[in-house]
Amino acid sequence: MPPLKRLIIKDQEYLDFLQWLKDLGCPKTKLTLAEFSNTGRGMMATKDIKAGEVMVQVPERNLVTLKSLQSTYGPRIARFGKKINSHMVIALHIALLVQAPEKSGWLPYLRMLPKKFDTMPVRYPQELFDLLPQNAQAHVNKQKAKIVADYNCVLDFLKSNQDLLSRPLAYEEYEWAWLVVNTRCIYLDAKRQDAADNIALAPMLDFLNHTHDAKTEGRFCTKTKSYQIKTLLPYKKGEQVFINYGPHDNCFILVEYGFVTPENPYNYVTVDNDFMHLTIPGETSVAKKDKMELLDMAGYYGDYVLHRNDVSFRLLVGLRLRLINPFNKMSAATQHAIAQWHNLVNGEIDQISAENEQMVPVYLERLCDEILATAKKTLGILARKKTTFPVMHVQQVWIETRDIVLSIQDKIHNKEQL
């Protein structure tokens, strides 16, 4: 592995940003912006940082929140009379600031924001999007639909608030601002992540990158009236300093934040689509439909995953039901097998039958073979593409998928417990 390189950033935009923070009364930190050869831009320790030390604190007056924007948007939102959440308002505010940056007083911060979001899957060209795993594609489509719905709601809001605009708000402008908020916001209270007024943009703090093994605590301190990030691990001068977004796998991190992390222990492979298309000899379409209804009624339909060292209980439950053959709900034998399956789900027995249990690893391996073939084919296509960060990110996701599937196949071959 080549030695890690880092370069402290001292361009005029960053120096202006630091002066802006100073003028706003932000406390000094032991951090500076730097370019790292392995992670890109991030924060570097300028001095040793002790475990338990507050690394960054952003005064409440410098946070961009629904509360801080209340004087500008509150009465307008009340008159609007439709649901408009904090993400939409903050994104709209950022987009409007960009329309007239010199007048806003936030120009130094705006200049430090990403110019584009090409590493976000929602911005991928179609040919690269099509190479994402299907669960990631579904996540991206859901995100895209959310941005479009929010944009349409904002346009509706602006119809009666035209005085806010310097020019018509294009979709691309709002999408960029929406992604700024989505990739950089913090939760003021981690326990209230669904609360409408709980997110904020925090200048300086939002330059910290994520890694799964960082140990940090973030909270709003009522005593200092600031949002603080405390590290539970020490850092030496010159090291990159990280925060932790939470226990997320790389597919989630890629779709929500536009990057992946190496050796992420939270990675898993979703196999819902492969499970639904798995061919079971002798299984009729009627039988398959009846089995899916049973899984749904029992709360075991979908969310089937493979981890590096184990197979989800949900997937094993689903396979055992699929492997009941012949399957005719009108027959006493099938009714007995279904009753046994329910007993298995409830933990009262270990298997439906010896024959059924013997078939589970056989069909699990067939499932793995299908996923492995898809992974190898996709990696072959990606290998022929020009090397870019988005291509490398998708490659890493599929490499991890391949490695997880191979680890499960090893367990099957070694007859280890699944």
- Give the model confidence (pLDDT) of 34-47 as tens digits: 988 777 788 999 99
Chain centroid, CA 385 distance in Å: 25
Mean pLDDT of 311-315: 97
Residues 6+ apart with CB under 8 A from 255: 120, 121, 122, 136, 139, 140, 143
- CA atoms within a 13 Å half-sphere pointing along the CA-CB vector of 212: 15
Out of 97-111, 134-148, 399-413, least confident range: 97-111
Please, are residues 185 and 116 in contact by the beta-carbon 8 Å criterion? no
Share of the chain above pLDDT 70, in %: 97
Lowest mean pLDDT among 198-207, 317-326, 354-363: 198-207
Q: Is the pLDDT of residue 2 over 60?
A: no
Q: What is the pLDDT of residue 313?
A: 96
pLDDT in tens, 78-110: 999 888 899 999 999 999 999 988 777 899 999
* Domain 64-201 of CATH type 3.40.50.720: no
Q: For residue 297, what pLDDT is reported?
A: 96
Task: Tell me what pLDDT residue 191 has.
Answer: 64
> What is the DSSP track for 240-297?
EEEE---S--HHHHHHHHS---TT-TT--EE-HHHHHT---TT--HHHHHHHHHHHHH
DSSP conformation class of 350: S
Mean pLDDT of 277-301: 96
Q: Return residue ranges of the chain for CATH 3.90.1410.10.
A: 64-201
Q: What's the whole-model pTM score?
A: 0.92
Cβ atoms of 219 and 228 within 8 Å: the answer is: yes
- Distance, CA of 351 to CA of 357 (rounded, Å): 6
Name the DSSP class of 384.
T
Confidence at residue 196, expressed as pLDDT on a 0 to 100 scale: 59
From-to residues of CATH 3.90.1420 in the chain: 269-413
Q: What is the mean pLDDT of the chain?
A: 93
pLDDT for 3 equals 59
Q: Specify the fold of 269-413.
A: set domain protein methyltransferase, domain 2 (3.90.1420)
Report how far residue 133's alpha carbon sits from residue 374's, in angstroms, rounded to the nearest whole number: 9
Element (H, E) at 394: helix 389-413
8 A C-beta contact, residue 54 and residue 229: yes
